[in-house]
């Protein structure tokens, strides 16, 4: 490469090279001297040892790669993970700014039926434990075993969002003056909640202690944990209850909680996308994981998760009420399970091919449905972010 000013086509090539991270602004010149490339940015020069950068890039792996104390994503290898990280960052929100005064009034009057109040109580009772399970598992099982910096970087953002979700539940509990002991009891004493959480966490203790991830069976344990948290729990077992609360939201009931669940569910879409991407890259780098027996094990695991979720749905909504039919939520569980399986090229479980809640994407992504409510409109998405219109844009 000559020392003359770089043509635009060469600049584009440099920007697309994972070993480079340069701006198109200003005059840039570059020349090679053996394994060293010298970049001239106006009056400053920078030397890049391309051989070292290539070694670092080649050492990047989902697991069993080069570990470093520095969380430097460059040279960037897993571009999609970094894109999802930026999307998560752009969607940042804070629970405390959401007005809960209307919810508090409805909660403390006869505006809600006993069955509608039960749905809210079950939601707070379940998620007060489940969000903590996700955050703990992502931190100690997933992020701690990843070695590529950009994957760890995105997973740390995932953990931070679980803290925001927990904070939103505290905001709900405080605003409605719900008894904290009652919230705890719903986690400990309701069998469908207890069984769901025990099902997800039963494979985690060994991974938290640290295992040899060069061994195929242990790689499969890590892959299954990643699948369990992001595709089964967040991707399947959260959605029916979210849909129930957002069904109330559509009826202008508990709209503050509805807003928080909108933002939370949009976050979950990114978590599912990130988990699926990491799992796909893990399998590509470690094809010994993806045996026929292991694929069948994942499908069976999802099937068990679906049956537990259906039991939970029946507890949340024992019979149809205005605006909610139990069967639609049971179908929704199967629909989401199949989406997660299909996204990984795995066989689906049911014949449910259409989303029973076609309106849900509009609620999640803050489009037309927002106009119906007398709530503070807060568009928690920065101008530089991708404007997603439905969940499939993310997952």
Instruction: State whether residue 177 is helix, strand or coil.
Output: coil
Structure tokens at 82: 């970094």
Task: Residue 196: count other Cβ atoms within 10 Å of its Cβ.
Answer: 23
CATH 1.10.620.20 in the chain, residues? 79-393
Confidence of residue 27 (pLDDT cuts 50, 70, 90): low
Task: Residue 25: count other Cβ atoms within 10 Å of its Cβ.
Answer: 7
What is the mean predicted confidence (pLDDT) over 272-281? 98
d(CA 330, CA 31): 62
Confidence of residue 270 (pLDDT cuts 50, 70, 90): very high
Q: Tell me which of 22 and 247 has the higher pLDDT.
A: 247
Residue 51 burial (10 A CB sphere; 0-12, 13-18, 19+):
exposed
What was the pLDDT predicted at 375?
A: 42
User: How far is Cα of residue 85 from the mean position of the Cα atoms in its chain?
Assistant: 10
Task: Reply yes or no on whether the pLDDT at 339 is more than 50.
Answer: yes
What was the pLDDT predicted at 16?
A: 55
The sheet that has 28-33: what strands, in order across it?
28-33, 36-41, 44-49
Q: What letter does residue 205 receive in the DSSP assignment?
A: H
Convert the pLDDT of each residue in 197-248 to its tens digit: 999 998 787 888 788 999 999 999 999 999 999 999 999 999 999 999 999 9
What pTM was computed for the model?
A: 0.82
d(CA 348, CA 254): 35
Report the chain's mean pLDDT, rounded to a whole number. 85
Sign of CA dihedral 98, 101, 107, 111: negative
Burial profile 147-160: b = 16 or more Cβ within 10 angstroms, e = fewer: bbbbbbbbbbbbbe
What was the pLDDT predicted at 12?
A: 55
Task: Residue 225: count other Cβ atoms within 10 Å of its Cβ.
Answer: 22
Convert the pLDDT of each residue in 297-306 to its tens digit: 999 999 999 9
Confidence of residue 393 (pLDDT cuts 50, 70, 90): very low
d(CA 250, CA 221): 41
**Helices 180-189, 191-201: inter-axial angle, 10-degree rounding:** 70
Q: Residue 379: which of 297, 281, 262 has the closest Cα?
A: 262
Any long-range contacts for 103-111 (C-beta under 8 Å, 24+ apart)? Answer: 103/172, 103/175, 103/176, 103/254, 103/255, 103/256, 103/257, 104/175, 104/176, 104/177, 106/253, 106/254, 107/176, 107/254, 108/176, 108/177, 111/253
Structure tokens at 121: 């109580």
What was the pLDDT predicted at 6?
A: 42
Residue 265 burial (10 A CB sphere; 0-12, 13-18, 19+):
buried
Give the Cα-Cα-Cα angle 228, 231, 237 (nearest 5 degrees): 85
Q: Residue 369: which of 234, 271, 235, 261 has the closest Cα?
A: 261
79-393, superfamily in CATH?
Ribonucleotide Reductase, subunit A (1.10.620.20)
Is the separation of the CB atoms in 95 and 164 below 8 Å?
yes
What is the mean predicted confidence (pLDDT) over 29-40? 78
């Amino acid at each position: 490469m000559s020392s003359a000013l770089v043509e635009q086509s060469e600049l584009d090539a440099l920007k697309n090279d994972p070993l480079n991270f340069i701006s198109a602004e200003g005059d840039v010149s570059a020349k090679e001297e053996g394994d060293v490339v010298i970049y001239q940015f106006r009056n400053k020069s920078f030397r890049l040892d391309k051989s070292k950068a290539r070694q670092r890039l080649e050492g990047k792996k989902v697991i069993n790669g080069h570990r470093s104390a520095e969380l430097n994503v460059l040279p960037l290898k897993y571009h999609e993970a970094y894109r999802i990280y930026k999307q998560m960052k752009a969607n940042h929100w804070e629970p405390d700014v959401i007005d809960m005064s209307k919810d508090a009034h409805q909660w403390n009057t006869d505006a809600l039926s006993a069955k509608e109040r039960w749905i809210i109580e079950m939601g707070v009772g379940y998620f007060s434990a489940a969000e903590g399970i996700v955050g703990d598992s992502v931190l100690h099982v997933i992020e701690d075993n990843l070695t590529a910096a950009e994957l760890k970087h995105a997973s740390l953002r995932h953990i931070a969002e679980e803290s925001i979700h927990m904070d939103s539940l505290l905001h709900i509990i405080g605003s409605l003056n719900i008894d904290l002991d009652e919230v705890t009891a719903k986690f400990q004493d309701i069998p469908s909640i207890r069984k769901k959480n025990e099902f997800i966490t039963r494979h985690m203790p060994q991974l938290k202690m640290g295992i040899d991830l060069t061994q195929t069976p242990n790689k499969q344990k890590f892959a299954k944990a990643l699948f369990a948290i992001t595709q089964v729990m967040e991707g399947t077992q959260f959605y029916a209850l979210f849909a129930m609360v957002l069904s109330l939201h559509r009826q202008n009931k508990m709209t503050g909680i509805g807003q928080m669940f909108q933002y939370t569910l949009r976050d979950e879409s990114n978590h599912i996308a990130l988990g699926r991407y990491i799992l796909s890259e893990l399998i590509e780098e470690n094809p010994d994981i993806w045996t026929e027996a292991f694929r069948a094990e994942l499908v069976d695991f999802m099937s068990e998760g679906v049956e537990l979720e259906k039991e939970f749905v029946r507890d949340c909504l024992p019979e149809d009420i205005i605006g909610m039919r139990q069967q639609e939520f049971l179908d929704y569980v199967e629909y989401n399970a199949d989406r997660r399986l299909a996204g990984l090229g795995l066989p689906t479980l049911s014949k449910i091919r259409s989303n029973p809640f076609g309106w849900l994407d509009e609620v999640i992504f803050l489009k037309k449905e927002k106009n119906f409510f007398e709530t503070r409109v807060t568009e928690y998405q920065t101008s530089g972010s991708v404007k997603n219109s439905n969940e499939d844009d993310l997952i």
